[in-house]
Amino acid sequence: MLKKERAAWIADKLAELYPDPPIPLAHRDPYTLLVAVLLSAQCTDERVNQVTPALWQLADNPFSMAKVPAAAIEKVIKPCGLSPQKAKAIHALSNILVNEHGGEVPASFEALERLPGVGHKTASVVMAQAFGVPAFPVDTHIHRLAQRWKLTSGKSVAQTEADLKKLFPRERWNALHLQIIYYGREHCPARGCDGTRCLICRHCFPRRKNPVVTLKA
């Protein structure tokens, strides 16, 4: 099976399994999504969803959050890990949104990536999930599975993103990002599948006998 044929089969199978994948991070608007994605760095979505209700009680918009000291934010988000850095970033980006963007989250990769604590992956998630702009955010799940499925060399997250964008139609990027994440969690996790066990791995690589060693993101 050629790479393009394999990619097409995978896309069809994922669409069959997850026809309407929900956004895993609970949020109300672009701002709460932005903060939730920032909190998800090195933290599970489940943990973030447990923490954010208390954070939204403290402040759920940039105008209110800008008035909350970083130390107070840190106390609430501590279970998410890296709380000192994340709290400072949330406080700082809220001020920037108020002072430079009228309190609105900008629908621009460039503007988002200038915000404290917001890298390309976070900006891509916000652009895709808040504004519907085609993007292909690559997290550790996607980076690992793209290697297992031989859709990329996996030399870097940036390379994986570029390779996936070439393989899949632009109009499928946003859904595929979520579909791959859900499939990885349920069927092809880091320890639960070594590249030889799950449905997609078995179908695409029926002769594979040995575990797949993947490069870290």
- Annotated catalytic residues are 121, 139
What's the CA angle centered on 102, arms 119 and 109, to 5 degrees? 25
Q: Shortest CA distance to 105 belongs to which of 88, 85, 125, 87?
A: 125
Dist CA 132 CA 55 (whole Å): 25
Produce one character per residue of 77-103: b if its CB has 16 or more CB atoms within 10 Å, e if not.
beebebbeebbbbbbebbbbbbeeeee
**Distance between start and end Cα atoms, the chain:** 26
CB 204 within 8 A of CB 217: no
